[in-house]
């Protein structure tokens, strides 16, 4: 963590957010013995998966019908719709489609990723799961993709702090100076409650800090009518194209992290920096920045739900559709 990051955290503690921090850090979570009690066998995982996929009972993916019979034979349960005779396996159409791994391995990965406070590297996952590095990498990226798709469902609204930031190089997650080469620029945005507490974060790569890319970003990620607070960087005025109001706080000689207007966006960037430097080895920033950033935001946005995070991630995985290796390795599309 940089000095300014430590300073910001200290400042937050002094300013009375210590209770909020404790609420996050002292959550019970799900203990490992409890995890293995619930998800230690293949049949327990299959039951949990079925429940996450069809909480109200089976619904045919083709016709929506509920009446069905269950065929056995393969690795996973196969459901046959009574109305249209369509057959679907438990994992078909989900993130797990086509996997040769046991569900217990996937569930352990979901558990480890959801409970690790600052994220988990593919290398750590490889060691914990006892799989090859390429397999661990793919599991990790598929689950991050599920998180990213979930995050894509939400827009930020109300009061929103925004800042420009860069990913890549030695100063990942921090401000590396505007216009630096070889960095991935991204917009860091935090929505606040009426009493000034952070609600949701969004960290989105952009092609650059131009009026055009910020307008495109705002249309995709902000609810019309939001009030955006930024420093004096000219491109942020383009949020008005998305029907948002724009308030500029000119920093003028003071560091942005010293201003209350940017307290939360700076805290989140500081946490991101800690997370990336502690958990991940250098990765292809250009290609995978969006997925890493969205996975970080996913975790941040569910920071009060540690105990149920593995269930939430399982639901995200069953609804995000199949993720073949080829699409996981494709470059991300930026704003
Ligand atoms: Zn059907």
What integer pLDDT is reported at residue 161 of this predicted model? Answer: 94
C-alpha 105/C-alpha 111 separation (Å) is 10
Distance from the alpha carbon of residue 259 to the mean position of ligand 1, in angstroms: 58
Distance from the alpha carbon of residue 328 to the mean position of ligand 1, in angstroms: 30
Contacts of residue 8, defined as CB under 8 A and 6 or more positions apart, other chains included, come to 257, 263, 266, 267, 270
Distance from the alpha carbon of residue 313 to the mean position of ligand 1, in angstroms: 27
Distance from the alpha carbon of residue 84 to the mean position of ligand 1, in angstroms: 4
- pTM (2 d.p.): 0.86
Tokens of 110: 């979901």
C-alpha 304/C-alpha 110 separation (Å) is 18
* CA 192 to mean position of chain CA atoms: 18
Distance from the alpha carbon of residue 145 to the mean position of ligand 1, in angstroms: 29
Distance from the alpha carbon of residue 50 to the mean position of ligand 1, in angstroms: 17
Tokens of 64: 């929506």
Contacts of residue 139, defined as CB under 8 A and 6 or more positions apart, other chains included, come to 101, 105, 106, 109, 122, 125, 129, 131
Distance from the alpha carbon of residue 293 to the mean position of ligand 1, in angstroms: 38
C-alpha 94/C-alpha 317 separation (Å) is 7
Taking the chain (335 residues) in runs of 10, the rounded mean pLDDT of each run is 40 47 69 94 96 96 95 87 96 95 97 84 92 94 95 95 81 47 84 92 94 96 95 91 92 66 86 77 75 92 90 95 87 49
Distance from the alpha carbon of residue 58 to the mean position of ligand 1, in angstroms: 10
Distance from the alpha carbon of residue 99 to the mean position of ligand 1, in angstroms: 24
Distance from the alpha carbon of residue 78 to the mean position of ligand 1, in angstroms: 13
HSE (side-chain half, CA atoms, 13 Å) at 253 = 0
Distance from the alpha carbon of residue 315 to the mean position of ligand 1, in angstroms: 22
Distance from the alpha carbon of residue 75 to the mean position of ligand 1, in angstroms: 22
Count other Cβ atoms within 10 Å, centred on residue 97. 13
What integer pLDDT is reported at residue 170 of this predicted model? Answer: 47
Distance from the alpha carbon of residue 57 to the mean position of ligand 1, in angstroms: 14
What integer pLDDT is reported at residue 205 of this predicted model? Answer: 93
C-alpha 118/C-alpha 112 separation (Å) is 11
């Amino acid at each position: 963590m940089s000095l300014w990051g430590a300073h910001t955290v200290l400042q937050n503690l002094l300013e009375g957010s210590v209770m909020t921090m404790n609420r996050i850090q002292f959550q019970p979570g799900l203990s490992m013995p409890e995890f293995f009690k619930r998800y230690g066998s293949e049949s327990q995982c299959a039951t949990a998966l079925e429940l996450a996929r069809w909480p109200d009972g089976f619904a045919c993916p083709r016709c929506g019908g509920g009446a069905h019979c269950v065929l056995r034979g393969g690795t996973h349960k196969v459901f046959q719709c009574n109305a249209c005779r369509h057959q679907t396996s438990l994992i078909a159409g989900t993130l797990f489609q086509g996997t040769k791994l046991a569900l217990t391995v996937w569930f352990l990965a979901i558990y480890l990723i959801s409970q690790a406070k600052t994220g988990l590297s593919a290398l750590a996952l490889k060691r914990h799961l006892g799989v090859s590095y390429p397999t661990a990498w793919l599991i990790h990226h598929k689950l991050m993709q599920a998180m990213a798709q979930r995050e894509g469902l939400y827009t930020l609204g109300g009061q929103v702090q925004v800042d420009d930031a860069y990913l890549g190089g030695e100063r990942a997650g921090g401000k590396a100076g505007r216009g630096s080469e070889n960095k991935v620029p991204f917009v860091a945005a935090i929505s606040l409650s009426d009493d000034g507490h952070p609600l949701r974060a969004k960290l989105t790569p952009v092609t650059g800090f131009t009026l055009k890319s910020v307008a495109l970003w705002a249309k995709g990620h902000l609810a019309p009518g939001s009030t955006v607070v930024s420093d004096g960087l000219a491109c942020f005025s383009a949020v008005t194209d998305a029907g948002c109001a724009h308030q500029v706080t000119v920093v003028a000689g003071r560091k942005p992290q010293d201003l209350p207007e940017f307290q939360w966006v700076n805290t989140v960037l500081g946490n991101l920096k800690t997370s990336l430097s502690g958990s991940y080895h250098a990765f292809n920033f250009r290609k995978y920045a969006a997925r890493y950033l969205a996975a970080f935001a996913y975790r941040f946005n569910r920071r009060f739900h540690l105990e149920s995070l593995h269930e939430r991630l399982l639901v995200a995985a069953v609804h995000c559709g199949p993720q073949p290796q080829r699409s996981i390795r494709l470059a991300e599309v930026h704003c």
